[in-house]
Amino acid sequence: MTDKRTPVTGDQRKEPKRDVMNRVAMVQDILRRWDPIGVAPGEFGPADEYDSYAPSIVSMVVQGCTSEELSKHLEVIRVETIGVEANPDRDREIAGEILEVIRENERSGR
């Protein structure tokens, strides 16, 4: 049996990685505005203060999480991981922004 798949070029292999990295960067920007600690990343605190949370958030969104699920995830990060007070309104707002930017990115094929 012969393999009838079209060969994948180097650029085609890199495209999905570029897409993922672009989404992660967009989420990182939003998380810097979320700023549950209040350190103004890049101004008074490290610019990458919340960057490590972005890949798992992107993964959740790409897998189809709801706004409520993402909001709860942000709350867990805020309260259990970082150890600051809950702010469900802000977490819902940021979850909505994240969902909007990633879904718009997917629709536009960027």
The 10s digit of each residue's pLDDT in 13-43 is 555 888 889 999 999 999 999 999 999 999 9
Residue-wise pLDDT tens digits, 57-99:
999 999 999 999 999 999 999 999 999 999 999 999 999 999 9
Domain locations along the chain: 13-35+47-108
Query: What average pLDDT is seen over the chain?
Result: 88
pLDDT at 6: 46
pLDDT top residue among 4 and 103: 103
Distance CA 85, CA 77 (A): 11
Token look-up 């879904």 returns: 103
Six-digit token string for 31: 């998380």
Give pLDDT, residue 2: 47
